[in-house]
Structure 1
Amino acid sequence: MVAALELYLDVDATRRVRTLWRALEEEGVPTLASLLNDKHRPHVSLAAARTLPPSAVVSALSDMTVARPLTLHLDFVGQFVGRVLWLGVTPTAELLDHHRQVHERLAAAGVETWDLYRPGKWVPHCTVSMRVPNPVMAPAIRRCLEMLPLTATVTGASVTDHANDIAEPLP
């Protein structure tokens, strides 16, 4: 399974992403809305791994505000190998610096993360679907583009592992 350090979006941005998820579900595209019994909420992951021990992450990040009110600009749509569809967050110096600080603290505490989420490789994004069926990829991309651009403010953060019912809030 997957554990992540997630940044949560403000109420309006969350509502707009959930509306997108519902529209795509109605068109036959499985989204995070239906993955793991609706446990997911719109987010941008700063780190991910097979497991992230909540106590170790909380300890490593105890002296910083992980959920600082960063402004995120979701301006484009992307796709990862495996038919993963996402809304792209335009990288800003502030976001990249925050991401780097989080990873420096996690590394110093011995918390391992996946390489693709480390500074220099991370692609900031808000996942829409983990497995878009090939025949509906183009219409799904068009539907995503219809709701962009989207500006969001980070309002919360958590260490999560939805498969194991872990959601540990971070400051």
Structure 2
Amino acid sequence: MVAAIEVYFDGAAQARLRRLWDAFEQAGIPSLREHTHRLHRPHLSFAVARRFDPQQVADAVSGLLPPEGVEVEFSSVGQFPGRVLWLGPVPHADLLARHDAVHRRLAEAGIEVDAVYRPGAWVPHCTVSQQVPWADLARAVGLCLDALPITASLRSAAVADHSRGLYRPIG
């Protein structure tokens, strides 16, 4: 999985999430800030695939975020296999409906996505670290809990394929 539809937060929420990444780095725990190419922004991934045609995806899902944004509140910490640590927003009806609409439009355009990001399987999350050492897990969770709650507004989106250096904003 390399390409994603990434949805970004308002400036204040981005700053808080970046401070959490900084706290990880200061504690010697890898964060998404320093992961791979160091170009990551705090985000929710609405869909992921091995490859996307950025223009085709942007055309298919354009206009799904209202100008005033979609409010979310991060209130939990979770972990995926492989030492991935994340913050979870409350999965409210508006968030899930917008995610569903993205996938409906992608399907109508014939765009395939990874099954774990489809409605009914998707776990909304903002990754903090993809490689928390086991010995640091309790400290990492504590740093996350100290940062919560975080209220954010989903303000913008892009098709990002970091392995190919592609970034296409979605209007």
**TM-score range for the pair, normalised by the shorter chain length:** over 0.9
Which residue pairs with 2:72 in the alignment? 72
Which residue pairs with 2:84 in the alignment? 84
Taking structure 2 as the reference length, the TM-score comes to 0.95
Q: Which amino acid aligns with 2:36?
A: L
* Comparing 52-61 and 15-24, the one that deviates more: 52-61
The answer as to whether partners of 1:36 and 1:162 remain within 8 angstroms in 2 is: no
Which residue pairs with 2:113 in the alignment? 113
Alignment partners' CA distance in 2, 1:52 and 1:143: 34
- The list of structure 1 runs, each at least 4 consecutive aligned residues, that deviate by more than 3 angstroms after superposition, is none
- 1:56 CA displacement: 1.6
Taking structure 1 as the reference length, the TM-score comes to 0.95
Cα-Cα RMSD: 1.2
- The answer on 1:13 being equivalent to 2:13 is yes
Identity of aligned residues (%): 47
Alignment partners' CA distance in 2, 1:60 and 1:37: 28
The answer as to whether partners of 1:87 and 1:128 remain within 8 angstroms in 2 is: yes
- 1:26 CA displacement: 1.5
Which residue pairs with 1:169 in the alignment? 169
Alignment partners' CA distance in 2, 1:32 and 1:84: 10
- Cα deviation, 1:1-35, whole Å, max 9, x if unaligned, reads 51110110111110011001011011121111001
Which residue pairs with 2:138 in the alignment? 138
Length, aligned pairs only: 170
The answer as to whether partners of 2:82 and 2:131 remain within 8 angstroms in 1 is: yes
Alignment partners' CA distance in 2, 1:11 and 1:149: 16
Alignment partners' CA distance in 1, 2:11 and 2:26: 22
Q: Which amino acid aligns with 2:3?
A: A
